[in-house]
Amino acid sequence: MQSVALMGLGNMGAGMARRLLKAGFALTVYNRTRARAEALAAEGATATGSPREAAERAQIVISMVADDNASRAAWMGETGALAGAKAGTVLIESSTLSVGWVKELAAAATSKGCAFLEAPVTGSKPQADSGELLFLAGGEAATLDSVRPVLASMSRAIVHLGPVGSGATMKLVNNFLCGVQAASLAEAMAVIENSGLDRDVALDILGNGAPGSPLVKGVSRRMATRDYRVNFALQLMAKDLTYAVAEGARHGVPLRMGEAALNVYRSAAAAGLGEQDLAAVVEPYRRNAAR
């Protein structure tokens, strides 16, 4: 079995770590908040004090962190994973990041003599916990093949999209559509609640009709019950839309719907909802209606 290091034990990373342990991989973990790493150590992982130390112990190093800044901190510098990775180590970045940073990281990995794969995922906390993520891989096919058993232990499928940057681009397109859907659902929910319609009947019609995507069905339930336990943090959707809008502009495509949705999430985050589930994006509409 290949030895694996996983950096980042948030809502996604913790579930991924447990799937790796269940599959029997020798797992080293690192998290900025040490207590989360210690919790995984109690389940069989080895907790380390820095990304560098984690990488020194592994043949494969995976990162699942919040954004470009967190990824840069995990990989770069004297205590970063690149400083500890041996030549030939496979480095996998599974976070949702900007395409530009992913390509920069790939070049840094190559200069270190390491193989690099980007593999962001679709799915949220329930899929990470159950091992049903979808990996969107970008990089060399041979590199992907060398780590398939590791990724398979955490996923329902692995899609190879092409060279480095392909996975990040696809993930941003995916989350752009998800973010716009959830923001528009918040507005629809506000209209339903303020118009006197029977909310349960209205949501049943939407959920089982043309708009009834899995996201609409799941998020509408959480909006209706005000269940904002985090599957996907609202502030992370704002970050993803920021990257998506910038990537669209880089290709000459202004994402007007993305810009509008981004403003909705930023307003919700400014109202103190950033660390709650993205379903909480409906609450500012409710507060305005109550005034």
- For residue 290, what pLDDT is reported? 73
Report the DSSP beta bridge partners of residue 158. Answer: 135
Q: Is residue 5 classed as helix, strand or coil in its secondary structure?
A: strand
Tell me, yes or no, whether 174 and 152 share the same domain. no
Domain finish residue from 123, 142, 162: 162
CA distance 64 to 13: 6
Q: Which residues of the chain have pLDDT under 70?
A: 291
Is the same domain home to 141 and 63? Answer: yes
Reduced 3-state DSSP string for 13-60: HHHHHHHHHHHCCEEEEECCCHHHHHHHHCCCCEECCCHHHHHHCCCE
Query: Which CATH number does the domain housing residue 130 bear?
Result: 3.40.50.720
Residues 37-71 pLDDT 10s: 999 999 999 999 999 999 999 999 999 999 999 99
Give residue 291's pLDDT. Answer: 67
Is there a catalytic annotation at residue 171? yes
Retrieve residue 122's tokens: 């679709």
Secondary structure letter of residue 104 according to DSSP: H
Question: What is the count of structural domains for the chain?
Answer: 2
**Residues 45/51/54/55 CA torsion (nearest 10 deg):** 140
User: Strand pairing of 121-122 and 133-139?
Assistant: antiparallel
Q: Give the active site residue among 22, 103, 171, 239.
A: 171
By residue range, what is the domain housing residue 249?
169-290
The HSE-up count of residue 26 (CA atoms within 13 Å, CB side) is: 9
Residues 25 and 144 in one domain: yes
User: What whole-number distance in Å separates Cα of residue 67 and Cα of residue 72?
Assistant: 9
Burial 242-253 (b: 16+ CB within 10 A, else e): bbbbebbeeeee
Q: Mark whether 29 and 46 lie in a shared domain.
A: yes
* Alpha carbons 205 and 274: distance in angstroms, whole number: 29
Is this structure's pTM higher than 0.85?
yes
Pairwise CA distance, residues 40 & 25, whole Å:
13
| 193 in the same domain as 60 | no
Q: Same structural domain for residues 174 and 155?
A: no
Residues 90 and 193 in one domain: no
Statement to judge: residues 30 and 111 lie in one domain = yes
Do 152 and 237 reside in the same domain of the chain? no
CA–CA gap between residue 154 and residue 149 (Å, rounded): 9
Q: Which residue has the tokens 């193989």?
A: 115
Last residue of one domain, picked from the residues 137, 162, 187: 162
Answer yes or no: do 210 and 86 share one domain: no
Q: Tokens 């590791």, residue?
A: 150
Note whether 121 and 210 are same-domain residues: no
Domain match, 147 and 183 both: no
Specify whether the CB–CB gap between 190 and 285 falls below 8 A: yes
CATH of the domain at 254: 1.10.1040.10
What pLDDT is recorded for position 155? Answer: 98
Q: What is the pLDDT of residues 67-85, one digit of tens each?
A: 999 999 999 999 999 999 9
Q: Which residues, other chains included, contact 254 with Cβ-Cβ below 8 Å and sequence gap of 6+?
A: 248
Domain end: 114, 142, 162, which one?
Answer: 162
